[in-house]
Chains A and B, each alone.
Chain A
Amino acid sequence: MARLHVVIPALVHTFIRSKTEYPGAMVLGWLSQFAAYGSMYTAISLILARFGSLGGWVWPEIALLLSFHLLAYSLGASLSFVQFREMEEKVRMGTMDAILVKPISTWTYVVFSGLNIGYAGHIVLALGLMGWSLTQVDVTWTIQSGLLFLGYLVSAAMIVAATMTMIGATALVWVKSNHLYQIFFGFWELARYPLNIFPLPLQILMLTFAPLAFMAYVPVAATLGKPVPLLGDWASAAALLSGPLVTLIAMAHWRWCLRNYQGAGG
């Protein structure tokens, strides 16, 4: 029905207008998140400074891993996290019903009527750190490898958005699902270190059921030419394909949840 190239800008425009009444709070939010991530990365760099390397990765390589992790996360999460964390609330208050009677894809409406511009601080920090680390690591860039790197990034962001969507969709059936985000952020925390420092069962888990290894470690290791456990030469292809694959699963799950939506329960 609705033409997406008109509706999406209209939704984003309306949402931003509704938020910019409090610009001070927004800027403080950016700064405070920038500070928190900066502080965490400083802590990690202190360990690297004392010990030289972590799992065979030196500081510039770890910095690339951290910045890729943060960039993929903020790109994916700006499309999903806050919107789907509010899903519980939307279901409980019945606002979800009002969204379901609009002649537009529900996912599109939820995502773009809440497109989060609060990740600006993350993105600035991630781009800065990535820019620096790319000049320090030993990679010869070609147009092909540059495009591949962008493809990894898109795929990684897709994993984030798809996983968040799945968790939010679960609220349609269970009413409560926000505790699952805590589990997501558990794996998210693991995903910013080299996978090879973890025990084998955890490595398998992070490459299969909780595929956040593809969010940063696998693509960055493939870029740096480092050996990837279990995947070996398949790392590059897997990094590219994992995002679309998780997205397909998320779409099926989303549909299933919409079909089994209960409202607030009668």
Chain B
Amino acid sequence: MAIIAASGVEKIFRQPKRHAGFGGAIRSLFSREFTEVRAVDGISFKIESGEAVGYLGPNGAGKSTMIKMMTGILVPSSGTVEVLGREPHNNRITNAAEIGVVFGQRSQLWWDLPVRDSFDLNRHIYDIPAPRFTENLARLTTMLDMSSYIDRPVRQLSLGQRMRAEIAMALLHDPKILFLDEPTIGLDVVAKDVVRKFLAEVNRDRGTTIILTTHDLVDIEEICPRLIMVDDGKLLFDGELKHLRTALGSRRRLKLEFGSDPGPIALKTAQLVADEGAAKHFLLDSEQTSILDVLTELGSGHDLKDVKLEEPDIEEVIRTFYQNKVQAGAVP
């Protein structure tokens, strides 16, 4: 059975309308109008126990809103969300005890107190038995290298140290699912790397299900075999990262290098996009076309030196995708 199931989920926010300028300010003294914002628009997916899923999308795509519905903070406007077989909002406390949540941009640690004090308070709130707490704390302290700062006030920590502490705090009670909202935002390269390796390890070795939102693809490449991509509240893609290219219709590039310029070459299986004489670039039409097909069609008799197949950069694929969408939207 799926550990998380979302079906036809929608979330609509009401926001007061603002009027610009002096007259507008006077006007809003007396009137109150609302605009409706559809942050999540008919999303369905299922997540199995032990999966690591990346929830990807640009700002305002409704990623955080979806996390908030799965953690019981928000109630869907329509559709259903089930986490561990329960509706999260109505079973908020039971649900909260079995999940861990990390918000990248808002700390759950007590600002003026040492890290250890926040951990200790969580021990009471989550009712963690003392031996298990000690064991988990020791393990997490080692894995995340926190021993040097666990007794320092949170306000003195670097962002990277704080994020490690946040993640450790969310794992102290051995949650079945770990939700992370933008866990690597603002971190430097080294800190990002530590967080990614750690999360991948927690998922692999302890079987903790991980759902993370991000707009950094490297997070997904290193932690999450599965990707859910959203934009404008709608689901764009759900599947393995390597299938994303095909799904989004992007094509692989094939580069053929010859000893000498063989002259113009036209092929049915591949489309010539750039001709540098001795080096020619082709686009492969579909995932089914293999290099072998191309080479077979090309036949022998050419002074072929090297064959290079370039997978498109995933970052670029997504960027192109969004750009196309913006352009498409610009045309009335």
Residues of chain A touching chain B, judged by Cβ–Cβ distance below 8 Å, are 1-3, 6-7, 10-11, 14, 17-19, 21, 93-95, 97-98, 100-105, 109, 259-263, 265-266
Contact of A104 among B39, B93, B110, B111 (CB under 8 A): B93
Q: Give the dominant DSSP class at B's interface.
A: mixed
Give bound CA distance, A231 to B179, whole Å. 55
Q: Given A101-B72, A261-B75, list of 16 further CB < 8 A pairs?
A: A1-B94, A1-B127, A3-B127, A7-B124, A14-B110, A17-B113, A94-B103, A95-B106, A98-B107, A102-B96, A103-B96, A104-B96, A263-B68, A266-B37, A266-B60, A266-B65
Q: Please list 11 pairs of residues, one from A and one from B, whose beta carbons are closer than 8 Å in the complex, sorted by A's number.
A: A1-B93, A1-B97, A11-B121, A17-B117, A18-B112, A93-B106, A98-B108, A100-B72, A103-B94, A103-B97, A262-B14
List residues of chain A with CB within 8 A of the CB of B65.
263, 266
Q: Which of A10, A95, A266 has the most CB of B within 10 A?
A: A266
Give bound CA distance, A100 to B72, whole Å. 8
Give bound CA distance, A18 to B154, whole Å. 11
**A265 lies within 8 A of B15 (CB):** yes
Give bound CA distance, A7 to B121, whole Å. 8
8 Å CB interface, B30-70 against A: 37, 39, 60, 62, 64-65, 68
Query: Given A6-B124, A103-B94 in contact, is the A97-B103 Cβ separation under 8 Å?
Result: yes
Give bound CA distance, A262 to B65, whole Å. 9
**A98 lies within 8 A of B74 (CB):** no
List residues of chain A with CB within 8 A of the CB of B103.
94, 97-98
**B14 lies within 8 A of A100 (CB):** no
Give bound CA distance, A259 to B120, whole Å. 30
**B13 lies within 8 A of A265 (CB):** yes
Give bound CA distance, A207 to B75, whole Å. 36
Give bound CA distance, A17 to B121, whole Å. 12
Q: Is B322's CB within 8 Å of the partner chain A?
A: no
Query: Given A21-B112, A266-B39 in contact, is the A100-B125 Cβ separation under 8 Å?
Result: no
Contact of B106 among A11, A98, A103, A259 (CB under 8 A): A98
Q: Write out, one digit per residue, whether chain B residues 68-107 have a CB within 8 A of any chain A CB (1) or not (0).
A: 1001111100000000000001001110110101010111
Q: Is B321's CB within 8 Å of the partner chain A?
A: no
Interface size class of B (residues with CB under 8 A): 35 or more
**A100 lies within 8 A of B94 (CB):** no
**B93 lies within 8 A of A105 (CB):** yes
Query: Given A10-B121, A18-B113, A265-B15 in contact, is the A101-B106 Cβ separation under 8 Å?
Result: no
List residues of chain B with CB within 8 A of the CB of A17.
113, 117
Q: Which of A6, A19, A109, A262 has the most CB of B within 10 A?
A: A262
List residues of chain B with CB within 8 A of the CB of A21.
112
Query: Given A98-B106, A262-B13, A266-B13 in contact, is the A14-B75 Cβ separation under 8 Å?
Result: no
List residues of chain B with CB within 8 A of the CB of A1.
93-94, 96-97, 126-127
List residues of chain A with CB within 8 A of the CB of B94.
1, 103
In the complex, what's the smallest C-beta–C-beta distance from B16 to chain A, in angstroms?
9
In the complex, what's the smallest C-beta–C-beta distance from A105 to chain B, in angstroms?
7
In the complex, what's the smallest C-beta–C-beta distance from A137 to chain B, in angstroms?
45
Give bound CA distance, A17 to B268, whole Å. 75
Contact of A261 among B15, B39, B73 (CB under 8 A): B73
**B110 lies within 8 A of A18 (CB):** yes
Give bound CA distance, A265 to B113, whole Å. 30
8 Å CB interface, B258-289 against A: none
List residues of chain B with CB within 8 A of the CB of A103.
93-94, 96-97, 125-126
List residues of chain B with CB within 8 A of the CB of A2.
124-127
**A101 lies within 8 A of B99 (CB):** yes
List residues of chain A with CB within 8 A of the CB of B14.
262
Give bound CA distance, A100 to B74, whole Å. 9
Give bound CA distance, A262 to B105, whole Å. 18
Give bound CA distance, A265 to B39, whole Å. 9
Query: Given A18-B112, A103-B96, A103-B125 in contact, is the A263-B73 Cβ separation under 8 Å?
Result: yes
Q: Which residue of B lies closest to A1 (CB)?
A: B97
In the complex, what's the smallest C-beta–C-beta distance from B4 to chain A, in angstroms?
15
Give bound CA distance, A93 to B101, whole Å. 16
In the complex, what's the smallest C-beta–C-beta distance from B276 to chain A, in angstroms?
49
**B97 lies within 8 A of A259 (CB):** no
Q: Which residue of B lies closest to A20 (CB)?
A: B112
**B72 lies within 8 A of A14 (CB):** no
Give bound CA distance, A94 to B106, whole Å. 7
**A14 lies within 8 A of B73 (CB):** no
**B126 lies within 8 A of A14 (CB):** no
Q: Which residue of B lies closest to A262 (CB)?
A: B13
Give bound CA distance, A11 to B113, whole Å. 13
